[in-house]
Amino acid sequence: MSPAAGEPASPPARLSAAEAVDFLQLLEKLKHLKRTGWVRSGVAGAESVADHSFRMATLALALGGAEGTDAMRCVKMALVHDVAEALVGDITPHCGVSDEEKHRREAEAMAQIASLLGGGAAAEEVSLLWHEYEQGQTAEAKLVKDLDKLEMIAQASEYEQAQGMDLSGFFRSTQGKWRTQTGGAIAEEVTRRYEAHKAQRADGGDE
Amino acid sequence: MSPAAGEPASPPARLSAAEAVDFLQLLEKLKHLKRTGWVRSGVAGAESVADHSFRMATLALALGGAEGTDAMRCVKMALVHDVAEALVGDITPHCGVSDEEKHRREAEAMAQIASLLGGGAAAEEVSLLWHEYEQGQTAEAKLVKDLDKLEMIAQASEYEQAQGMDLSGFFRSTQGKWRTQTGGAIAEEVTRRYEAHKAQRADGGDE
């Protein structure tokens, strides 16, 4: 594997090797970027944006086209929905940045990412998926936005049970905001288990 | 969102809400499971299996059907390739467990995961993807196995640069093992940058 070997290997379909490695280096940042909501709440060992995106995408895979969606489009959208955060960080409603400014910064980051990907088919696909998610109009974007919130409340429940702080505000922040029946039904089950566990703790049942 | 509300919401296509939440709880473990190779090498803040799987899957998305593969099958395979580790942990060649025993434990875990997913279409899909990856015979499995190793050497390079320990053994472990031209070409680029950075450090260029 000599770096100087000049023979042109059969190239990847859409990316040069250099673009692929640039993209790997970009995605690395999402492994290090801890989700702001947990950090602000004092969670120890808070998950990364990559952790969050992985669980969303894998749930999308398992749901497989719920709500008449294109399952694979949902999986891909879940993978890229936070990719702009590799360049601008995880901006939340508590960061003192307006929604418009957040969108502007992220859209600018997506243009940089498209350029890093070489501006061809891969760049276009990643960019289209991200903008579709942001606009939230298609069936796929609505479902993936629900998965984003579901993943969050499931994690809030897990951190609260493991670490004892009150993370009920994350549940309240989602009330009345479910865009699909699938999202609402799963949220109801997450909430049911969360409340049952809380009631058990209040009874001293597991302490 | 009353837990007792009895009206049947339109169900997800393939999973009940309870199965979806069971699956979320299972996947949570992959966020906490640190990759054994880094832990053994003394890496601080080692990434999770979820982090690793996220970057593999997102690179598969960007590569989009390299080597004549079904791009979406590669993305999905990358998402599930380590999912058995949620139950059996990240067993490496240094753990004193034979390859056969590792496979046996993981296959048993996959049967449990299929049961957790309800035994229907989602269970079947996740299970088939995992077994296809393990067998390593299809074009998709070969490419995803290369992505698994690529993701690892890229991470070795990043940790070595950030934390200073010698992780060259991870590069050596992949020599001669690339199964696709795409994987080999990207590995060559990762290695070229790794060696350039190392030479620069040796010259005192960035210290």
Mean pLDDT of all residues in chain B? 92
Q: Which of A61, A117, A181 sits opposite B79 (nearest CB)?
A: A61
Measured between CA atoms, the residue of chain A closest to residue B15 is A63
Whether pLDDT at B5 is above 80: no
- Among candidates A50, A72, A184 on the partner chain, residue whose Cβ is nearest the Cβ of B54: A50
Tokens 């891969």 belong to A122
pLDDT tens profile B140-150: 999 999 999 99
Largest Cα separation within chain A, whole Å, is 70
d(CA B36, CA B158): 16
Q: Check residue A52 and give its pLDDT.
A: 98
Q: How close A92 gets to chain B, by Cα (Å)?
A: 21
For residues B153-166, b (16+ Cβ closer than 10 Å) or e, as one string? bbbbbbbbeeeeee
Is the CB of residue A158 less than 8 Å away from at least one CB of chain B? yes
Q: Which helix (H) or strand (E) holds A150?
A: helix A139-163
Predicted confidence (pLDDT) per residue in B30-54, tens digit? 999 999 999 999 999 999 999 999 9
Q: Is B156 in CB contact (< 8 Å) with chain A?
A: no
Cβ distance B31 to B50 under 8 Å?
A: yes
Tell me whether residue B91 is in a domain.
yes
| Average confidence (pLDDT) over B163-173 | 97
Does pLDDT of B156 surpass 70?
Answer: yes
CB atoms A31 and B51 under 8 Å: yes
Per-residue confidence (pLDDT) for residue B94, from 0 to 100: 85
Structure tokens at A205: 């049942």
User: Quick check: is B5 in a domain?
Assistant: no
pLDDT number for residue A182: 96
Chain B residue nearest residue A65, CA to CA:
B13
Q: Is residue A10 included in any domain, yes or no? A: no
pLDDT at B205 over 50: yes
State CA B195 to chain mean position distance.
Answer: 25
Q: Is residue B129 part of a domain?
A: yes
Report how far residue A121's alpha carbon sits from residue A127's, in angstroms, rounded to the nearest whole number. Answer: 10
Total domains present in chain B: 1
Which residues from chain B sit within 8 angstroms of residue A75, using beta carbons?
A: 72, 75-76, 79
Q: How many inter-chain contacts (A to B, CB under 8 Å) are there?
A: 231
Compare CB distances from B184 to A9, A61, A75 and report the shortest one's residue: A9
Residue A9 is predicted with a pLDDT of: 47
- Judged against a pLDDT cut of 70, whether residue B133 lies above it is answered with yes
| Per-residue pLDDT at A155 | 98
ipTM above 0.90, yes or no: yes
Q: Confidence class of residue B1 from pLDDT cuts 50, 70 and 90?
A: very low
Choose the closest CB to B72 out of A21, A54, A72. A72
How far apart are alpha carbons A3 and B189 in whole angstroms? Answer: 7
Give the pLDDT of residue B13: 55
In a domain, A31, yes or no: yes
Number of other residues whose CB lies within 10 A of the CB of residue A76: 27
Count CB-CB contacts under 10 A for residue B174.
21
Contact A47, A34 (CB under 8 A): yes
**pLDDT category, B55, cuts 50, 70, 90?**
very high
What pLDDT, on the 0 to 100 scale, is given for residue B191?
A: 98
Which one of A53, A63, A125 has the shortest CB-CB distance to B15?
A63
For B123, the closest chain A residue by CA position comes to A62
- Is there a domain that residue B146 lies in? yes
Ordered alpha helix ranges (H), A164-202: 168-172, 181-202
Using a CB-CB cut-off of 8 Å, the residues of chain B touching A66 are 12-15
pLDDT given at position B82: 97
Which range of residues forms the domain containing residue A109?
Answer: 17-204
CATH of the domain at A62: 1.10.3210.10
Give me B8's structure tokens.
């049947």
The pLDDT score that the predictor gives to residue A124 is: 97
Q: Do A181 and B9 touch (CB under 8 A)?
A: yes
How far apart CA B89 and CA B83 sit, in angstroms, is 10
* Angle value at C-alpha A16, between A13 and A20, nearest 5 degrees: 100
What tens digit of pLDDT does each residue of B78-117 get? 999 999 999 999 998 888 999 999 999 999 999 999 999 9
From CA B164, how far away is CA B167, in angstroms rounded? 9
pLDDT at B3 over 50: no
Closest residue in chain B to residue A45, using alpha carbons only? B32
Find the helix packing angle between A71-80 and A49-63, rounded to 10°: 180
* Mean pLDDT on B171-188: 97
3-state secondary structure (DSSP) of residue B79: helix
Cα distance between residue A122 and residue A145, in whole Å: 22
Q: What is the pLDDT of residue B92?
A: 86
Task: Mark the ranges of chain A whose per-residue pLDDT is less than 50.
Answer: 1-12, 207
What pLDDT sits at residue B93? 85
B8 lies in a domain?
Answer: no
Is this prediction's pTM over 0.80? yes
Residue A4 falls within a domain, yes or no?
no
Q: Which residues of A touch B198 (CB under 8 A)?
A: none
Residue A147: closest CA among B24, B26, B93: B24
